[in-house]
A and B are shown apart, each in its own frame.
Chain A
């Protein structure tokens, strides 16, 4: 220790200061690490609690619980088949409806829109993502359902419904509610998420690549298809999976419009349910400790497993590009 340092470090001896500092460091690092461990425990606890809650149902019905189509609270027979079918069908249908539109929005925001328009339109898309799901539910129930019942569904039933091979998908009375309407609302909800992810990954393409293609005389669409999409393919799929993960677990919006019937509808316009909508609706009518409550928690466990797989794949696909 030189004379200069000793005076600069004021009255306390250097050794005390260092000890105090390192004790503070140890405490703070332990706090941060503890919080990290807490997050891991949280996820573990969610899985364990849902499984324990659903154990009674899993034990009573065995593995057949996952595929059984029965849901009869009076006879105390429960199966997850119908809500699992409804969950996956509406989520996949929502993705099919949302992805082309989301791609269009992202393409517009990154390549086509004039500079002054990008920020306001981008913000508007992000605001669409911020609207709470219960608002989508109300809007869907009071605005979209009447339009579906009066105009869209009768038109589709009279035209596509008459076609030979796919007609049966669009049969039945036009209630307005049902699986298709639920998928449509879900599509509108996840559209901004997918569009925002796609925009972010499109923006990461090095400008040199695009400029080279433009220099060769490529049109904007050719640049998108030949340069941007191949470069960002993995992340685009990751973004779509992220949207799928959201659609699988969405509760309030679906509960309002799906029609809530526990049977497999062959027509897309028929009523159905999803895991989340069934749990939200039936929870209030189940007694503590009853088999029904256990079945609802078991449904929650199944939903957790499905969305965990989808989200894990999505994160895995999105990770390398976004970090690189």
Chain B
């Protein structure tokens, strides 16, 4: 557009009228787009603000002490969310505990052993696909793999489904953090006569520790809010249950069931559950970021 205008007016810089008009036009286009971009950003912030305000308003409204002290009960009998909260925490902890070491090993393999190798590229590609794969499919997969053969929904199945979601997140951060470590550090360790596995575990992992912790915290934040994979694996449980071989309660599944119910008090409980989960997830995110920044 600009170039054709230049071509049409033989020497725009010699014609003050054309130059001024062109300049005005360009500045006007620029201002319009800049204002639109500011508006887009404000719109994005408005969504976040609206979600947080809605959660605070409706969640705090229903937030009582019973939410944390009593288990889920039938509508109209003042139940809480204790079993769901505890069930969520246990499944997230087990899922993270299973997924983190596997993810760290894969990330280490990609950064320390398979840099630039074809097989490494395939593993990296597949891990990135898993990172963005719909979580509902992870749930269906674990249902087929563990629920059908072992005859029932269980806390173990839920934890494994969450572990599968944790793995690619930890892979990505571990590899990224290890790649940032300067090679001179590795050469110094090898130069002292240490075997490679000691170099990795005692020096590289330690140097990348804050980054890896950040990744694990982000993974915890991600799986803590996952609902779809748990629907087909641990199913949910309205009673107090810590037996991982039976259907297991979790906060997101309870919120899903309660929010879609016709009972006022269940919907209110769903809101307080939603507030708890969002506050937990967002503070984990902020914590992860501050650890990462402090170390850098």
For residue B18, CB closer than 8 A to chain A, the reply is no
- Determine which residue in A20, A46, A100, A124 has the highest number of CB atoms from chain B within 10 A of its CB, and name it: A46
For residue B118, CB closer than 8 A to chain A, the reply is no
For residue A4, CB closer than 8 A to chain B, the reply is no
Question: In chain A, what residue has the closest Cβ to B129?
Answer: A311
A220 vs B252: C-alpha distance in the bound complex, in angstroms? 44
Task: Give the secondary structure class of A's interface.
Answer: helix
Interface members, chain A 204-246 (any B CB < 8 Å): 219-222, 242, 245-246
Bits for A98-122, please: 1 = Cβ < 8 Å to B, else 0. Answer: 0011111101110011000000010
For residue A92, CB closer than 8 A to chain B, the reply is no
| Total number of B residues with any Cβ neighbor in A under 8 Å | 90
Task: Give the secondary structure class of B's interface.
Answer: helix
For residue B177, CB closer than 8 A to chain A, the reply is no
CB contact under 8 A between A222 and B255, given known A50-B141, A124-B45, A315-B129: no
* B10 CB, nearest partner CB in chain A, Å: 19
Name which of A70-78, A149-157, A159-167, A299-307 contacts chain B: A299-307
A102 vs B37: C-alpha distance in the bound complex, in angstroms? 9
CB contact under 8 A between A32 and B112, given known A105-B44, A307-B133: yes
The answer on a CB contact under 8 Å between B278 and A132 is: yes
What are 30 sample pairs from A and B whose C-beta atoms fall under 8 A apart?
A21-B194, A21-B198, A24-B198, A25-B195, A27-B197, A34-B105, A35-B109, A36-B119, A39-B167, A42-B164, A43-B129, A104-B38, A105-B41, A105-B44, A127-B286, A128-B44, A128-B47, A132-B225, A132-B252, A134-B255, A135-B51, A139-B50, A139-B55, A143-B50, A192-B44, A222-B30, A245-B132, A246-B132, A314-B132, A315-B129
B interface residues (Cβ-Cβ under 8 A, vs A): 2, 26-27, 29-30, 33-34, 36-41, 43-45, 47-48, 50-51, 54-55, 58, 102, 105-106, 108-110, 112-114, 119-120, 122-123, 125-130, 132-138, 140-141, 144-145, 148, 164, 167-168, 171, 193-198, 200-201, 221-222, 224-228, 231-232, 252, 255-256, 259-260, 270-271, 274, 277-278, 281-282, 285-286, 289
A interface residues (Cβ-Cβ under 8 A, vs B): 9, 20-22, 24-25, 27-29, 31-40, 42-43, 45-46, 49-50, 52-53, 100-105, 107-109, 112-113, 121, 123-128, 130-139, 141-143, 188, 191-192, 195, 219-222, 242, 245-246, 248-252, 256, 276, 279-280, 283-284, 288, 296-297, 300, 303-304, 307-308, 311-312, 314-315
